[in-house]
Structure 1
Amino acid sequence: MNIKPKILVVIESLDVNDSSGTKGRVALLQSFVKSGYEVIALHYTQRDVKITDIECIKVTERRDTILFILSRIQRLLYRWFKIDVGSWVDSKFGFSFGFFNDANSLKRAVTKYNPTDFDMIWTLSKGNSYRSHKTLLLSPKWHSKWYAYVHDPYPQQLYPRPYNYVPYGFRKKRNFFREITLKAKYIVFPSQLLKDWMLSYYVEIARKSLIIPHQLSGQNVSGNTLPDYFDSNKFNVLHAGNLLDLRDPKPVVEAFELFLKQSPSAKKNAALFFLGKKSIFSNYLKIKAEKIPQIYASQDYVPFEQVFSMQQNTSVNIILEATSEISPFLPGKFAHCVEADVPILLIGPHYSECKRLFGSEYPYSFEFDDINKIANAFHKMYDQWMENKESLKLNRPDLQQYLSAKYLKEVLEESTQNQSS
Structure 2
Amino acid sequence: MKKISKKVLILAENLEVNRTSSGLRSNKQILLYERYFKDVEVLTTTPQDQFKQLVNVKYNYIDTTNINLGFLNKIPKIKAIPAYLYGFNLKNLKTIKLWQENIVNILNKHNKDLIVVLATGISHLPSMAMIKVERKLYGKYLQFIHDPYPVSCYPTPYKIKKNRIEQILFKKFRCVVNKADILSYPSLELQKWMQNHYGSQLENKSIIQHHIGLNKNELESILTDYNSKNTIKLNQGLNVTHTGTLIGHREPRILFKVFNEFLKNNPEAKDVMYINVIGKVTNFWSSLKATSQNIKIFEKRISYSESLDIQKQSDVLFTIEPVTDVSPIMHGKMADYFTYEKPILALTSKKSENARLLGYDYALCIENGNEKELYKALELIYCKYINNTIFELNVSHDKRKVVFPENWIEALLNKLN
Using structure 2 for the length normalisation, give the TM-score.
0.88
CA RMSD of aligned residues (A): 2.7
Tell me: CA distance 1:185–1:261, structure 2 relative to 1, closer, same or farther (3 Å).
Answer: same
- In structure 2, what is the equivalent of residue 108 of structure 1? 101
- In structure 1, what is the equivalent of residue 147 of structure 2? 152
- In structure 1, what is the equivalent of residue 223 of structure 2? none
Tell me: CA distance 1:256–1:388, structure 2 relative to 1, closer, same or farther (3 Å).
Answer: same
- In structure 2, what is the equivalent of residue 243 of structure 1? 246
How far, CA to CA, are the matches of 2:71 and 2:31 in structure 1? Answer: 35
1:192 and 2:188 aligned: yes
How far, CA to CA, are the matches of 2:71 and 2:142 in structure 1? Answer: 32
Q: Give, in angstroms, the shift of residue 94 of structure 1.
A: 0.7
- In structure 2, what is the equivalent of residue 226 of structure 1? 230
Q: Any unmatched runs of 5+ in structure 2? A: 221-225
1:80-91 matched pairs, under 5 angstroms: 83=76, 87-91=80-84
How far, CA to CA, are the matches of 1:91 and 1:319 in structure 2? Answer: 38
Q: Give, in angstroms, the shift of residue 184 of structure 1.
A: 1.0
- In structure 2, what is the equivalent of residue 45 of structure 1? 46
Q: Give, in angstroms, the shift of residue 314 of structure 1.
A: 0.9
Q: Kindly provide the CA deviation profile for residues 11-59 of structure 1, in whole angstroms up to 9, marking residues without a partner as x.
A: 1111112222222222222222333554222111123332335525242
Secondary structure in 1 matching 2:318: strand
Counting aligned pairs with the same residue, the percent is 22
1:123 and 2:123 aligned: no
- In structure 2, what is the equivalent of residue 213 of structure 1? 210
Q: Any unmatched runs of 5+ in structure 1? A: none
* Cα pair 1:71 1:97 within 8 Å, conserved: no
Secondary structure in 2 matching 1:215: coil
Q: Kindly provide the CA deviation profile for residues 292-350 of structure 1, in whole angstroms up to 9, marking residues without a partner as x.
A: 11112233543322222212221111111112111011111110111122111111111
Amino acid at match of 1:217: L
Secondary structure in 2 matching 1:319: strand
1:297 and 2:297 aligned: yes
Aligned counterpart for 2:86 among listed residues 93, 101, 116: 93
Amino acid at match of 2:343: P
- In structure 1, what is the equivalent of residue 280 of structure 2? 277
How far, CA to CA, are the matches of 1:114 and 1:309 in structure 2? Answer: 41
Aligned residues: 404
Secondary structure in 1 matching 2:5: coil
Q: Give, in angstroms, the shift of residue 87 of structure 1.
A: 4.2
How far, CA to CA, are the matches of 1:23 and 1:144 in structure 2? Answer: 27
How far, CA to CA, are the matches of 1:362 and 1:384 in structure 2? Answer: 15
- In structure 1, what is the equivalent of residue 344 of structure 2? 344
* Cα pair 1:312 1:339 within 8 Å, conserved: no
Using structure 1 for the length normalisation, give the TM-score.
0.87
* Cα pair 2:323 2:369 within 8 Å, conserved: no
* Cα pair 1:46 1:58 within 8 Å, conserved: no
1:25 and 2:26 aligned: yes
Amino acid at match of 1:213: H
Q: Give, in angstroms, the shift of residue 260 of structure 1.
A: 1.7
- In structure 2, what is the equivalent of residue 69 of structure 1? 68
Secondary structure in 1 matching 2:174: helix
Moved more, 171-180 or 234-243: 234-243
Aligned counterpart for 1:135 among listed residues 111, 120, 129: 129
Q: Give, in angstroms, the shift of residue 369 of structure 1.
A: 2.7
How far, CA to CA, are the matches of 1:98 and 1:398 in structure 2? Answer: 46
Q: Give, in angstroms, the shift of residue 3 of structure 1.
A: 6.3
How far, CA to CA, are the matches of 2:272 and 2:362 in structure 1? Answer: 26
Secondary structure in 1 matching 2:296: strand
